């Protein structure tokens, strides 16, 4: 087996369990053509899939694998076919060296399971995780991208990354995709990622002028309470977004953070009033024409999950 194939085999064997199903892809960018195979680890040797990938790579294809495992018997790599949230990931495709250094020094995230170096100054960071639902995974992926300056398009559960060992054919000469394995034996929990995600808080419908720190709350929790109070007071959503973005200028992308917080808070209010998921999705898209259908679906799902959690907590307390 060639060196590139051995690197790929070792990585896939470390990332996936024997019984897990995943996708391997060969993409020809010039011809807009993709070849995909749904496989398991024993298939790599039995069916010579790595030989096939090496052959396609030599012909100009870029080689990828699916981060999350797929359901047994899956024929396509769709969101519905994703079996579990196995990884969190971040695509640092601009100013990557500096951003990777900042990430590695941060106390908000654990050490990556692996870093895939896709070209000079460009890196794909992955963490092996457990305990995330698919919606929770996608929320965290968006927050990781916002916090560390990653590619915000790289936040869906069916995402594929470049497979280490093969050549990145986007460049001339081609760049060898290399691998830096780090915390290989660990599976991280949601509590290991200490980012400022919007959280549910019961707020009374009173008007206040701006977000403020309340006791031991994090800043995002204070933001959340303020946004809910502003919505309850009848302040227009766009006005709330602009004010929050101005105040949270410490965020890497204040407007993204503000829009997302207000969108989730609005969706939570609708769900609490009995609006069903499909109507929440349509209302979000009507209010924000720039919001994609996938983003609206993810926000509606997040709002439903949050409301259900609060109801369960309240029922236990009572």
- Segment 71-88 shows an average pLDDT of 90
The Cα-based distances of 276 to 6, 80, 113, 267, 293 in angstroms read 50, 21, 39, 10, 16
Q: Are 51 and 13 in contact (CB under 8 A)?
A: no
pLDDT at position 312, please?
A: 67
Considering the entire predicted model, what is its pTM?
Answer: 0.64
Task: Identify the three-state secondary structure at position 112.
Answer: coil
145-166 residue pLDDT tens: 878 888 877 888 888 999 999 9
- Segment 104-124 shows an average pLDDT of 90
Q: Are 37 and 163 in contact (CB under 8 A)?
A: no
Instruction: Return the axis-axis angle of helices 96-105 and 134-148, rounded to nearest 10°.
Output: 110
Task: Identify the three-state secondary structure at position 90.
Answer: strand
- Segment 118-144 shows an average pLDDT of 89
Question: Cα–Cα distance between 60 and 50 in angstroms, integer?
Answer: 15
Q: Assess whether pLDDT exceeds 50 at residue 103.
A: yes
């Amino acid at each position: 087996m060639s060196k590139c194939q051995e690197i790929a085999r070792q990585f896939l064997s470390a990332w996936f369990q024997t019984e897990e199903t995943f996708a391997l892809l060969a993409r020809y960018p010039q011809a807009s053509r993709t070849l995909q195979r749904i496989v398991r680890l024993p298939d790599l040797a039995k069916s010579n899939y790595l030989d096939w990938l090496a052959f396609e790579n030599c012909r100009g294809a870029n080689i990828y694998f699916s981060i999350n495992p797929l359901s047994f018997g899956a024929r396509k790599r769709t969101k519905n076919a994703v079996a579990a949230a196995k990884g969190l990931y971040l695509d640092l495709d601009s100013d990557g060296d500096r951003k990777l250094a900042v990430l590695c020094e941060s106390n908000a995230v654990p050490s990556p399971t692996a870093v895939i170096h896709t070209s000079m100054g460009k890196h794909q960071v992955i963490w092996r995780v457990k305990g995330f639902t698919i919606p929770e995974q996608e929320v965290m992926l968006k927050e990781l991208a916002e916090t560390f300056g990653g590619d915000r398009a790289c936040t869906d559960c069916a995402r594929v990354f470049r497979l280490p060992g093969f050549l990145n054919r986007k460049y001339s000469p081609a760049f060898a995709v290399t691998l830096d394995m780090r915390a290989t034996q660990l599976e991280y929990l949601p509590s290991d990622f200490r980012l400022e995600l919007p959280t549910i808080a019961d707020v009374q419908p009173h008007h206040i002028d701006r977000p403020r720190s309340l006791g031991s709350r994090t800043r995002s929790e204070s933001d959340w309470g303020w946004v809910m109070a502003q919505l309850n007071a009848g302040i227009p959503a766009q006005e709330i977004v602009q004010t929050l973005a101005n105040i949270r200028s410490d965020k890497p992308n204040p407007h993204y953070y503000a829009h997302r917080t207000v969108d989730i808070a609005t969706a939570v209010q609708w769900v609490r009033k009995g609006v069903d998921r499909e109507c929440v999705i349509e209302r979000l898209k009507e209010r924000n024409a720039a919001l994609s259908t996938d983003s609206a679906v993810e926000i509606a799902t997040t709002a439903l999950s949050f409301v259900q959690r609060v109801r369960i907590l309240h029922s236990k307390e009572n």
